[in-house]
Structure 1
Amino acid sequence: MSRSFDMELFLAGVLTGSHTTRRRHLHQAKVMQAEIARRWQRETPWAWHRKHVVWFLKDCIGHRNEATRYYYVLTARLLALRLGTSWLFKL
């Protein structure tokens, strides 16, 4: 039996700020999850490696404007914080 991964529950401990900010981070984390799952077959952040997130930031949203990339990097940092890793991402 397979259940879908609840990104909202996963990020609940590290999401702070206004409702809009939390909603944006949650939406972006779900987009990241979907793209990484499609490309790498890694369904949950627990299975991700730094290379998967870097691939997403470089190849999937690399063509987007600077502000969009910045906000995705912030979301990636939240995910790394939640995972307890020391991953660093360039802006």
Structure 2
Amino acid sequence: MSKPFDMEVFLAGVLTGSHVTRQRHVRQGKIIQAEIAKRWQRQTPWTWQRKHVAWFLENRMSHRSEATRYYYVLTVRMLTLRLARSWTFI
């Protein structure tokens, strides 16, 4: 039996800022992970492709406010940094 993926441990190496900021990134990372897992059956960020994250930002965040989308893009940048990928999102 495998352990469930822990987003907090995954992001721990790249998180900076205040406690509240770190918790926001972890919370949003878990939301991103759950949505991608539900749609694409990709349980961990190591299995994600750029299209999965782009889908989340374009489709799941389209009805959110500009500020909310901005904070999710910041979280995606943290995930990208942790994965050592060169993905860019606007």
TMscore range, shorter length: over 0.9
2:24 aligns with 24
The Cα offsets for residues 13-38 of structure 1, whole Å up to 9 and x where unpaired, read as: 00000000000000000000000000
Q: Tell me the distance in 2 between the aligned counterparts of 1:10 and 1:75.
A: 12
1:51 aligns with 2:51: yes
Residue identity in the other structure for 2:42: R
Give the counterpart letter for 2:78 in structure 1: L
TM-score, reference length from structure 1? 0.97
Instruction: State the aligned residue count.
Output: 90
Map of 1:38 onto structure 2:
38
Structure 2 length-normalised TM? 0.98
**Does residue 1:6 correspond to 2:6, yes or no?**
yes
- AA in 2 matched with 1:21: T
Structure 1 gaps of 5+ residues are none
Alignment partners' CA distance in 2, 1:17 and 1:6 = 20
Please list every run of 5 or more consecutive structure 2 residues that lacks an aligned counterpart in the other structure: none
Aligned amino acid, residue 62 of structure 1: S
| Distance apart, 1:2 and its partner CA | 2.3
Q: Which runs of 4+ in 1 moved over 2 A?
A: none
The aligned runs of 1:61-76 (5 Å cut-off) are 61-76=61-76
